[in-house]
Structure 1
């Protein structure tokens, strides 16, 4: 997830995130210092699709379609064995990442008007951002500290819709991944209006 050029998130933006509670003890300290999304209320996560549809385009049918689509995926386990880098970004690399890619691809195929990262990148690489916008020496220091504490393992069993008010991101709806059990255990997402989040 990223801010706009003014350094702020835009009110009405939404994001689909696979939150990673198991990584919080490992990355929380660094994210609070070096990842602005943490200060804006976003937990440790791997982005599934950002930006998703603006809030004025999300209705009950979209929520229902998301629930059905995500429920069709099986939960899976990933390991964070190493750090990776983008320009000015340090992240934990989930392995294997093919099922995270499949989640992104399936949602982006359903809503082609919401390509990952606005279509900025030819390839979307799943990652858990730890720090960004820092000089290389800072990223080097954070990476050295993290490397001593890896690997970490996490189970990805849901995707969450987060909504921005321009300052803070708030959790709106969680969509469980049910896989083979979809026919008997499909749970309905919250019927709460997205505009009341």
Structure 2
């Protein structure tokens, strides 16, 4: 999620690719924050889940068929797993987030992806010890950990299941899912086609 400062409207920016584990249980809340801060980034793709835990970002802009086959192999070799979202925290840069418990399966998935794609270090190497998380908001005069927890209400705690890996494309006015693979095997899942867009 990107937060705009009042009066600082952003022009068109280059798109980028991200590998994510979607979290549909938090979708209404997270989509609402995107609509509040950055409506141009809200997706019209019915397959797109704004709420997610990042598995690897940034990823390759134009992956080859071999790259996609390797992603399918990694997803097939990763069993689905359950986790709990309850711990609301903030990073030093102010990103308010939920930490999944246990975090180890997410970290292991990221490690496997990075090993397969060493040219794509997590967060471009900016955070050597990246922590699995689901972004909720950004600390500012009106936003704190306590206010976010209150806004979440009874949305958390919530038990979730990681059951697929998705390749998302982020671009102003064009956020969509490019590919998705079920964890534990099953090949590539078909995507619903968004009106006016050809899904690759």
Q: Which range, TM-score by smaller chain?
A: 0.7 to 0.9
TM-score under structure 2 length normalisation = 0.78
Q: For residues 36-95 of structure 1, what are the alpha-carbon distances to aligned partners after superposition, in whole Å with 9 as ceiling and x for unaligned? A: 48934251111111100122xx11111111001111000011111120101221111111
In the TM superposition, residue 166 of structure 1 has moved relative to its aligned partner by: 4.8
Q: Which has the higher helix share?
A: 1
Q: What is the alpha-carbon distance in structure 1 between the residues aligned to residue 188 and residue 151 of structure 2?
A: 41
Q: What is the alpha-carbon distance in structure 2 between the residues aligned to residue 166 and residue 149 of structure 1?
A: 28
Q: What is the alpha-carbon distance in structure 2 between the residues aligned to residue 160 and residue 39 of structure 1?
A: 18
Aligned-residue CA RMSD (Å): 2.8
- Is contact 1:67–1:189 with CA below 8 Å preserved after alignment? no
Equivalent residue, structure 2, for 1:187: 187
Q: What is the alpha-carbon distance in structure 1 between the residues aligned to residue 189 and residue 154 of structure 2?
A: 39
- Taking a change above 3 Å as real, the CA distance of residues 63 and 109 of structure 1, as seen in their structure-2 partners, is same
In structure 2, list runs of 5 or more residues that go unmatched: 4-8, 44-48, 192-197
Q: What is the alpha-carbon distance in structure 2 between the residues aligned to residue 141 and residue 158 of structure 1?
A: 31
- How many residues are treated as equivalent by the alignment? 182
TM-score under structure 1 length normalisation = 0.79
In the TM superposition, residue 28 of structure 1 has moved relative to its aligned partner by: 3.7
Equivalent residue, structure 1, for 2:46: none
In the TM superposition, residue 12 of structure 1 has moved relative to its aligned partner by: 4.5
